[in-house]
Amino acid sequence: MALDPVINFGKVTVSTGYDDVATSIVLSSGDGAKLPSTFSYNMTWWNNTDYADPADDPNVEIVRVSGRSTDTLSPIARAQEGTTATVKNLAGKTYKMILSVTKKMIDDIGGYFDGTNSFTELKIDPTTSSSTGIIFKGTDRFIHNFQHPTGGGAIPNGKNIFIGIGAGNFTMGSTATITTHSSRNIGIGADSLLNNTTGSSNAAMGNDTLKVNTTGANNMAIGTSALTANTTGSANVGIGGSALASNTKGVNNVAIGNSALTLITGTFISHNTAIGTSSLLALTTGITNTAMGYTSGRFIADGTTPNETSSECVFIGGYTKASADGVSRETVIGYDAIGKGTDTAIIGAEGVNTKVYASGGLIVNQVDASGAMPALLLNQDDVSEEMIEFDSTVGVGNAIEAVGAKVLTTTHFIKVTITGVGTRYIPCGTIA
């Protein structure tokens, strides 16, 4: 619902007298131009000769004007707002009409505040200074879309939106040298993007998100204090309270979950991915790590010492831990699993008889020609059980074939090592 149109000094003279059913009124020549050209609006009609104040005229009437052609008001609806249609044709009397505040106008305005009416349109100027195009909450800026009007060599494109007490600022873009600087930012939450200078295409949602960002671009921060310390880091995603809260210059980090990657502080610490509450929480200078699960990668083996500097590691599963701080290329998979050191991978936690199934062949390729390490190491702590169990159908030509009358002709030996015994050889060859 829109408010009725208004105009200053909208007082006109009626050209002649009318009865109490007339719905078209002719004004004195030229008076029509004193009224709005959009409709509809209410006007007060009274005997001005005898009553200078329309409130004193016992026959005063409010009518609703829905159209005008030059000096003719038509159509009009009589007897509005509780008044009565009366004859306005006393000889020698001058009748006037005025567009002024009536009870309907006050009620309409009040309706926007008590929920009775709804705005169809609200227009404010673009925000180009600290005093233009701003919606305030008390004395604090609350909603604006600041765009620097001059820039520092290039005028920013703008298209920003800031919602929240203290969100954004009114100086960003003053040093812009390209049009994309200081543009296409979204800051929702108190003090979000408070110190932005030329940073662009950032999305900050939550109190203190990207609060001290200056030139960082293409960051997404959702959750109180997410990426709050970021200054020049770009292309980071922090979703969750305090996610990536300490990152300053790192790029291409992803943290999803409360306090995920919250302590990263080193210069250009990048390419880490942490999904889960407190995942990689303690990491400060490690790079290119991946962690998924509650507190995944947060601690080392003892469960209390923080994992701060490991790099290129993978932790998948709740409570997964590094073997030690500072390891590299350690892969740890499974709930509460603990890594085995640099360049190792483990599936399953210690003390749990985890069975690993592979639907297809299993290929073990030891490519380090200089490293003294076996391609396959089997450890059996249960001394009463076998090292290997083979499961297949016994038959001629099968993977397992009965000895029968066949004879093995040894052609090769496979070198094996038995801990505590030494090197031994398994014969292999052809059968016939």
What are the tens digits of pLDDT across the range 97-131?
999 999 999 999 988 888 788 777 778 899 999 99
- Other Cβ atoms closer than 10 A to 158: 20
> Is 258 among the domain residues?
no
> What pLDDT band is residue 269 in, cutting at 50, 70 and 90?
very high
| Domain count for the chain | 1
Strands (E), 226-339: 237-239, 254-256, 273-275, 290-292, 314-316, 330-333
If one counts every other C-beta atom within 10 angstroms of the C-beta of residue 379, the result is 6
Burial of residue 239 (CB within 10 Å: 0-12, 13-18, 19+) is buried
Q: Are 190 and 204 a contacting pair, CB within 8 Å?
A: no
**Mean per-residue pLDDT for 3-25?**
96
How far is it, in rounded angstroms, from Cα 14 to Cα 151? Answer: 56
Give the strand order in the sheet containing 11-13: 11-13, 95-98, 41-47, 61-65, 76-80
What is the residue type of 230?
Answer: N
Residue type, position 377, single letter? L
Question: Contact, 25 vs 18, CB < 8 A?
Answer: yes
What is the C-alpha to C-alpha distance for residues 346 and 430, in angstroms, rounded to an integer? Answer: 36
Distance CA 90, CA 213 (A): 75
Note whether residue 297 is domain-resident. no
Q: Summarize pLDDT for 280-323 with one digit per residue, the tens.
A: 999 999 999 999 999 999 999 999 999 999 999 999 999 999 99
**pLDDT tens by residue, 349-379:** 988 888 888 888 888 887 777 666 788 888 8
Whether 294 is in a domain gets the answer no
Pairing of strands 95-98, 11-13: antiparallel
Q: How confident is the model at residue 432 (pLDDT cuts 50, 70, 90)?
A: confident
- Interacting residues of 305 by C-beta distance below 8 A, sequence separation 6+: 299, 325
In a domain, 314, yes or no: no
**Residue 43 within a domain:** yes
User: Rounded distance, CA 71 to CA 13, Å?
Assistant: 10
- The helix/strand/coil state of 343 is coil
| pLDDT at residue 375, rounded to an integer | 82
Structure tokens at 421: 């015994």
First-to-last alpha carbon distance for the chain, in angstroms, is: 98
Report yes or no: 38 and 55 within 8 Å, Cβ to Cβ. no
Location of structure tokens 């709740």: 318
What mean pLDDT do residues 189-199 have?
A: 98
Residue 229 or 383, more confident: 229
Instruction: Give the range among 204-208, 223-227, 402-406 with minimum mean pLDDT.
Output: 402-406
**Each residue's pLDDT tens digit, 127-154:** 999 999 999 999 999 999 999 999 999 9
The predicted pLDDT at position 395 comes to: 86
Residue 42 lies in a domain: yes
- The residue segments making up the domain with residue 99 are 11-114
Residue 380: its pLDDT value, please? 85
Mean pLDDT of the chain: 94
Query: The pTM is what?
Result: 0.74
Residue-wise pLDDT tens digits, 27-65 = 999 999 999 999 999 999 999 999 999 999 999 999 999
- 202 has a pLDDT exceeding 80: yes
Q: Could you tell me if residue 322 is inside a domain?
A: no
Is 175 a domain residue? no
pLDDT of residue 267: 81
